[in-house]
A and B are shown apart, each in its own frame.
Chain A
Amino acid sequence: MRVGLFVTCLVDLMRPRIGFAALKLLRAAGADVVVPRAQTCCGQPGYNAGDNAGARNLALKLAREFADCDYVVTPSGSCAGMIRVHYPALFREDAHAGDIGRLAEKTCELTDFLARVARLERVPGDFTGTLAYHDSCSGLRELGVKTQPRALLARMPGVRLIEMAESETCCGFGGTFSVKFGDIATRMADNKCQNIKASGADAVAAGDLGCLLHIEGRLRRLGDTQTRVLHVAEVLAGATEN
Chain B
Amino acid sequence: MSCGAKKDVSRRDFLRSGASLATLQLAPGVTLMAFGGSEAQAAADAGKRWGLLIDASKCAPDCNACITACQDENGWKGGGNAETDVQWIRKVTLKDKSSGRETSLPVMCQHCESPPCVDVCPTGASFKRKDGIVLVDKHICIGCRYCMMACPFKARSFVHERVTNQKTHAPRGIGTVESCTLCVHRVDEGRIPACVEACEAAGHGAMVFGDLLDPESEISRRLAAYPSVALRPDLDLNPGVRYREI
**Do A and B share a complex?**
no
